[in-house]
Structure 1
């Protein structure tokens, strides 16, 4: 079965998606506190994370490691409204970046972003390592084209 990575257009498609998304969050009044300024490698890092999670190359793990994403979210104190806005903007970016329109693909992306945003929100409020979400590696989002599954542990 085709991976989400391949179905999304590989590196080119995911980079396009993350560029559209990042532009949206930088301009969003609710999310500005979480993204106070543009960071030169943010789109690349987001693209690497999404690609790896969707079945592509493991560049995020090799170059940054999962601890990086934990540290980025630590102490941000993401609110539920910010988390939901993040998901909404991501799905708008999916629409605007010429991603495949089939329902199963779009649902897999939504579930991936919902899951990830909940992990980020929990980690953003963690006072100790014990408060962090137990996920310690890039989740590998499985998709068979018809139904999605939770990420592999």
Structure 2
């Protein structure tokens, strides 16, 4: 970890507080192998994809107040919607996804202060609910009302 990766108490965004892109990437890199190995989630993720870690890193960086790389260069919300379409994510899978993400946050030493963890849990609950609803949508009318990359403020 370099000096620029160290979270500060004066950070303006969650993205800055968790160490910017490097902090988000560490979290995603720790989490991703766990879903590929998890019997409940592996069916959603298959064998994995080479671009999943950088794409999810860009997505979460944007959600947490970082650069808009996911929206501006990687297809934005329409690309995310396409990836979840037809997956049929159920409640048990949604909850496991959140559980594994929080365990990864602990493993990589993400800040565990109440403000950070509350924001992380609230976003994960929201984001997985959006993904689950959209994964069952048969038409545009069935989609979750959130149809853009949210910016999660704390």
Q: TM-score, normalised by structure 2?
A: 0.91
Aligned: 1:114 with 2:91: no
State the superposition RMSD in angstroms.
0.8
User: Aligned to 2:96, what secondary structure does the other structure show?
Assistant: helix
- In structure 2, the residue matched to 1:139 is 150
- In structure 1, the residue matched to 2:114 is 103
Q: Unpaired segments of 5 or more residues in structure 2?
A: 1-10
Deviating 4+ runs (over 4 angstroms): none
- In structure 1, the residue matched to 2:85 is 74
User: Aligned to 1:45, what secondary structure does the other structure show?
Assistant: helix
- In structure 2, the residue matched to 1:11 is 21
Supply the distance in 2 between the matched residues of 1:127 and 1:140 (Cα, whole angstroms): 26
> 1:136: how far off?
1.5
Supply the distance in 2 between the matched residues of 1:66 and 1:95 (Cα, whole angstroms): 28
Q: Unpaired segments of 5 or more residues in structure 1?
A: 144-153
- In structure 2, the residue matched to 1:124 is 135
Q: TM-score, normalised by structure 1?
A: 0.91
- In structure 1, the residue matched to 2:45 is 35
Supply the distance in 2 between the matched residues of 1:51 and 1:66 (Cα, whole angstroms): 14
User: Aligned to 1:26, what secondary structure does the other structure show?
Assistant: helix
User: Aligned to 1:55, what secondary structure does the other structure show?
Assistant: coil
- In structure 2, the residue matched to 1:58 is 68
The count of corresponding residues between Structure 1 and Structure 2 is 143
